[in-house]
Amino acid sequence: MKKILATLAISISPFCFAHDGDHCHNPFFQHQAGITAGIQGVAGQYKTGTSQFDYYVTSIEAGYTYKNRFLSSIRIPFVSLQNNQSSDFLLSDLHALLQGSVLVWNHTNFLSLGLNTEIPTGNDQKLVGGGHMHFRPYVGFQQNIGKVITYGQMGFVLAAKGHDTDSTDHTHTSGSASSHDEDHPSMSSHGNTIHGSVVDVHSSREATFQFGAVTPVMDKLYFNASLAAQTVLTDVNANMGDLYMTVNPAITLMLTENSNATMFSQIPITRLQRFDYRIGAGINYIF
């Protein structure tokens, strides 16, 4: 049972995206040490001005975890991006994660510190890269209450300047056209100049928050739900105080003691949205 919980805790909602609350990096891992590997597919949609983008992200991830003390991973995403004019399959930005526990009690509950780093390997001119280094330090916690695992994160986004002059917040309200397209001309259809990633949307400074819980539904089947939020903390190519929130449900089936399969979705619940929908599935294995 401990081995099953360890596999589950490492990869309930696998990898995903770095700027929407990191719900895919749940800040907990339990009794197991070893190498982790996974593959994931995500389908989503983004609209800005008169443009609509449908994207499909295929990610591979590898890492190492040491019980409930240390976690590291690197995620390599490839994006198939389709809009009204063309379709491309391209490398997006790499994501590296380091996390360590600073306080552990009862062997399964802990407080942790982590750093999620985005490396600009994607092409921002082709809309699959942010064009800058991105750092997100965070503090996370886990508290087991009976069979329920509760977890949370609070973090801060800091985007360094890259080959873009400024980091750009690619935002929109529900529907197609948005007042934000006027505020952020580099992401509007004006002049056909769109820069940055439509897959991993963020501003150059923002606070992130996530809280969730995992509970068993039946033997080897678990339900995970979290609430994620981001608040913009800059007025450079963004509106200070803008709030984005999503609800993130997921179902995980333990295939063996060392592997699982997960299906998940991300549902925007605020007027301001950074995507219209995201759904995905993944398989993880711990050696």
Number of domains in the chain: 1
Collapsing DSSP states into helix, strand and coil, what is residue 2? Answer: helix
In the predicted model, is pLDDT for residue 172 greater than 50?
no
Residue range 264-274: average pLDDT?
A: 92
C-alpha triplet 252, 253, 258: angle, nearest 5° = 105
DSSP string for 238-282: S-TT-EEEEEEEEEEEEEETTEEEEEEEEEE-SSEES-SEEEEEE
* Position 187 pLDDT exceeds 60: no
Cα–Cα distance measured from residue 203 to residue 159, given in angstroms and rounded to the nearest whole number = 8
pLDDT digits (tens, 9 = 90+) for 35-68: 889 999 999 988 777 778 889 999 999 998 887 6
Of 82 and 271, the one with more pLDDT:
271
Please state, in angstroms and as integers, the Cα–Cα distance from residue 231 to each residue in 152, 206, 213, following that order: 16, 5, 22
183-214 burial string, b = 16+ CB within 10 Å, else e? bbebbbeeeeebbbbbbbbbbbbbebbbbbeb
Query: Mean pLDDT over residues 178-196, rounded?
Result: 39
Tokens of 102: 């600073």
| Mean pLDDT, the chain, whole residue set | 77
Annotate 21-35 with DSSP letters as a single string. Answer: --TTS-S---S-EEE
How would residue 168 be classed by pLDDT, with cut points 50, 70 and 90? very low
pLDDT of residue 13: 40
Give the largest Cα separation in the chain, rounded: 59
Answer yes or no: is pLDDT of 153 > 80.
yes
Lowest mean pLDDT among 117-121, 169-173, 239-243, 277-281: 169-173
pLDDT greater at residue 271 or residue 108: 271
Cβ-based neighbours of 85, under 8 Å, separated by 6 or more: none
Res. 164 pLDDT band, cuts 50 70 90: very low
Look at residues 198, 205, 209 and name the one whose alpha carbon lies nearest to residue 172.
198
Assign 15 a pLDDT band (cuts: 50, 70, 90): very low
**Structure confidence at residue 85 (pLDDT):** 64
**Model confidence over 59-69: pLDDT tens digits?**
999 998 887 68
Q: How many CA atoms lie within 13 A of 254 on its CB side?
A: 22
- Model confidence at 34: pLDDT above 80: yes
pLDDT per residue as tens digits for the range 74-128: 999 999 988 766 677 889 999 999 989 898 888 777 899 999 999 999 888 888 8
How far, in Å, CA of 87 to CA of 49, rounded?
A: 19
Strand partners, 286: 36
Domain of residue 199, CATH code: 2.40.160.40
Task: Outline where the chain has alpha helix (H).
Answer: 2-11, 180-183
What is the reported pLDDT for 56?
Answer: 93
pLDDT in tens, 206-241: 999 999 999 999 988 999 999 999 999 988 777 899
Angle at 98 between CA 195 and CA 60, to 5 degrees: 60
- pLDDT category, 22, cuts 50, 70, 90? very low
Residue 199 or 182, more confident: 199
Residue 282, pLDDT > 60, answer: yes
Residue 92: domain span: 2-286
> Residue 219 carries which DSSP code?
T
